[in-house]
Structure 1
């Protein structure tokens, strides 16, 4: 998929897929929201506004109040690509989120996911 197509994906259409993924593995929507808020700095209300908006991933990350400086400690492979080697800054942020959702779905402890 071309980068411009990935960036144009609506966050509101992606979010339910994340919820389904983590809930099918026994994790909660609340845990998912906590992970997303940790990465982006959104408040609970701000995240709900994003879920209810028509924003694409580019706007979702551009409007993030405080992208977590510890995000660079997220390492690993998503879709066959090492996240720490992704050059495009927006694609790296998208893959950071994907990696965190994967870790949540795989049952990793929250303190490990949140790099505490």
Structure 2
């Protein structure tokens, strides 16, 4: 499936704080914790708890969220299909980073071991 410019724009303008509760709900329903979710987000973005909380409070868009992040160099090891898109084929950097996060949350919810999720 090809990512369109409209899709990229929609992703960029989506508010991180509005998606975060869905991430949390998804992992908690499967027996994982908020702390594990934060560990995954921290690994991908380089944010600490305070920075993550501030981004949630400021209601930033995904564009701002990832512009200010220091994306983990091992993020490129995240591969597969998420939401019908093959991650490694997404050419828009921001959309690919958002899909990285989606994939990590999916793996966490599916019970994958943290060492594998964090590509260590």
Could you say which TM-score interval applies, normalised by the shorter chain? over 0.9
Count of aligned pairs: 115
Alignment of structure 1 residues 65-76 onto 2, 5 Å: 66-76=70-80
- Matching of residue 9 in structure 1 with residue 25 in structure 2: no
Residue in structure 1 matched with residue 106 of structure 2 by the alignment: 102
Query: Pick from 37, 49, 52: which aligns with 1:32?
Result: 37
Q: Secondary structure of 1:94's match?
A: helix
RMSD of equivalent CA atoms: 0.9
Q: Secondary structure of 1:108's match?
A: coil
Residue in structure 2 matched with residue 57 of structure 1 by the alignment: 62
Query: Pick from 16, 22, 45: which aligns with 2:50?
Result: 45
Q: What stretches of structure 1 move > 3 A for 4+ residues in a row?
A: none
Structure 1 portions without partners, runs of 5+: none
The Cα of 1:2 is off from its aligned counterpart by: 2.6
- Deviation per CA, 1:9-64, whole angstroms, max 9, x where unpaired? 11111111100000001100110000000000001111111111121000000011
Residue in structure 2 matched with residue 113 of structure 1 by the alignment: 117
